[in-house]
A and B are shown apart, each in its own frame.
Chain A
Amino acid sequence: MKQEAFQARHGAEWTRFEHWLDARQARQRQQRAQADTIMAASEFPSALRRLCQQLAVAERRDYSTQLVADLRGLAQRGHQVLYRPRPPRLRLLFDFLAAGFPRLVRAQGACMAAAAALFFVPLIAVAILLQWHPELIHSLFDSRQLAQFENMYNPLHHADRLGRDGGADLQMFGVYVFNNVSIGFRTFASGLLAGVGAVFVLVFNGIIIGGVAGHLTAIGYGGPFWDFVAGHSAPELLAIVIAGGAGLHIGMALLAPGRRSRARALAEAGVDGAKLVLGVFAMLVLAAFIEAYWSSIVWLPSTLKHAVGLALWSLLLLWLWRGGRSPAPMHADGGADASG
């Protein structure tokens, strides 16, 4: 068949296909609604297959490159529509947080354990060391920073909010989200530098947090300090550890890809990392909310705050340990795909 006859036979179909794509991508809702009058959405896959077949024929018969380029352009646009990602569904996101995320954390147990060690060992070591050698705190902070911490948690100093130099709850929520979530994201991403970035963030934060906790406890300001941190410590510290673990995982994919190619190992670690970061994001927003609206309340009894903090630690650890192990069929994999 000559090109002209081919075009005459199928031209109307191509025009219709193009109009449908145009209407679908139109800015106005009215125009988008017209797409159905041009072609039913259910006809689209077979229309695309037909177009692809015509493109292959046109290429095979050496029709002009202009015609082939036109058809290829249409086929590529159709391809973009057919293979577009599904809109995220809330149900699958919940399934992911309930089951897929803890499963993924356990699947990377080695990296998570290493991250936890890199974070908690310096934290606890520094905090204990400061009980015996309180003067060492001066090598961590200068005196102005120390004065600021001491001022915030002075038991004799009756502030109306704990853990801050003033500021409204919503303001502090914004500060905590902006700072902590950004740190969580950066911890993961910097792990790509052979894990160095993640190791640095984990150890550095472990030392700083251990330093503040140890110092305030050593000088007798521990009461208000532990009241403040009890509530949000579980989601916040665990989230940083998981972000660090995801960073170590991607760093290891670069350093030791094993039997996979390095590109493939990185791509797989990247997908896992993105899923983990979604969970880290949820945990850190929860932590920021608790920190801004619950931890800062002054008049609540210490025992209640400590009990809530302990409960949160137990619940979160239980979630990470048992989540997604239920024998009931879960949609964790689908959930992970759709949420991500």
Chain B
Amino acid sequence: MIDTLAVVETPEGIALQLRSAGALPRACAWALDFMIRFAAAFIAATALGALGASGIGLYLLVLFALWWLYPVLFEVLRDGQTPGKRVMRLRVVNANGTPVTWLASIVRNLLRVVDMMPLCYGFGLVASLTDRQGRRIGDLVARTLVVYAGAPLRAGALPPTPALVAPLALRPAERAAIIEFAERSAQLTPERQQELAGLLGQLTQAQGTVAVQRLHGMATAYVGRA
């Protein structure tokens, strides 16, 4: 329930990591979409109201398109994102990580009817709270996921520290941890850096800023920089 990460293996032999979104960001995206659709319907009503009886017919056609076609067209043609999902940085994908297809998008949006029952997306909320990947009923049947589309964190540059050979031989995972510590230093306060570096007294044989410096130096050596 806590880790929403879904790992999907692709034909290229790599593991895609899909981080599925919970009910709250999705509800926000829906509310944004609703406001956009409401505004569009309002504009259409004002513009077409001038045309009299035929205008009512056109207005109802617009309303039909806004209600039923808007989510499908945006999801398939705009990389799985309706405007609301784009703002919330969400994306609809097939369960295998590929972009959502026409049929899958049609199914998940038609079955909103069931998710909306008995009121206020009640069934959808229950389903997404019980499902490990936060899927509503439409997603379960269509085999789709709503995932975070956020850009991955950029690799921070290593602090410019002269390379330092570690006094101990470390295992690969431990070396990776030290490289990560150096790459993420920019996001940590100096106090926190020192606190973390202090845990490795045996390795750094120092305390405070010196320990941090030495760890950065080892990281520089591990990534192969002179």
For residue B91, which residue of chain A has the nearest CB?
Answer: A80
Nearest Cβ distance between residue B3 and chain A, in whole angstroms?
16
Whether the pair A55, B14 counts as a contact (CB closer than 8 A) is: yes
Nearest Cβ distance between residue B85 and chain A, in whole angstroms?
14
Whether the pair A174, B59 counts as a contact (CB closer than 8 A) is: yes
CB of A97 within 8 A of chain B? Answer: no
How many angstroms from the CA of A70 to the CA of B17 in the assembled complex? 12
Prevailing SS type, chain A contact patch: helix
How many angstroms from the CA of A135 to the CA of B101 in the assembled complex? 53
Q: Mark B41-66, 1 if CB is under 8 A from A, else 0.
A: 00000000000111111111101100
CB of A31 within 8 A of chain B? Answer: no
For residue A66, which residue of chain B has the nearest CB?
Answer: B155
Nearest Cβ distance between residue B145 and chain A, in whole angstroms?
13
How many angstroms from the CA of A339 to the CA of B102 in the assembled complex? 7
Whether the pair B223, A267 counts as a contact (CB closer than 8 A) is: no
Residues of B within 8 A of A338 (CB): 102
The interface size bin for chain B is 35 or more
Residues of A within 8 A of B156 (CB): 66
B55, B61, B140: the one within 8 Å of A177 (CB): B61
CB of A188 within 8 A of chain B? Answer: yes
From A72, A73, A266, A270, residue with most partner B Cβ within 10 Å: A270
Whether the pair B57, A174 counts as a contact (CB closer than 8 A) is: yes
Those of A121-173 within 8 Å (CB) of chain B:
167-173
How many angstroms from the CA of A133 to the CA of B185 in the assembled complex? 87
Whether the pair A52, B13 counts as a contact (CB closer than 8 A) is: yes
Residues of A within 8 A of B155 (CB): 64, 66-67, 69-70
Binding-face segment, A36-44, A179-187, A317-325: A179-187
How many angstroms from the CA of A63 to the CA of B56 in the assembled complex? 63
Whether the pair B79, A73 counts as a contact (CB closer than 8 A) is: no
Those of B95-110 within 8 Å (CB) of chain A:
97-104, 106-107, 110
Whether the pair A52, B12 counts as a contact (CB closer than 8 A) is: yes
Those of B14-53 within 8 Å (CB) of chain A:
14, 16-17, 52-53
Known: A70-B155, A73-B151, A185-B68. Is A80-B103 also a contact (CB below 8 A)?
no
Binding-face segment, B176-184, B192-200, B205-213: B176-184
Known: A2-B222, A267-B141, A270-B107. Is A85-B63 also a contact (CB below 8 A)?
no
For residue B56, which residue of chain A has the nearest CB?
Answer: A171
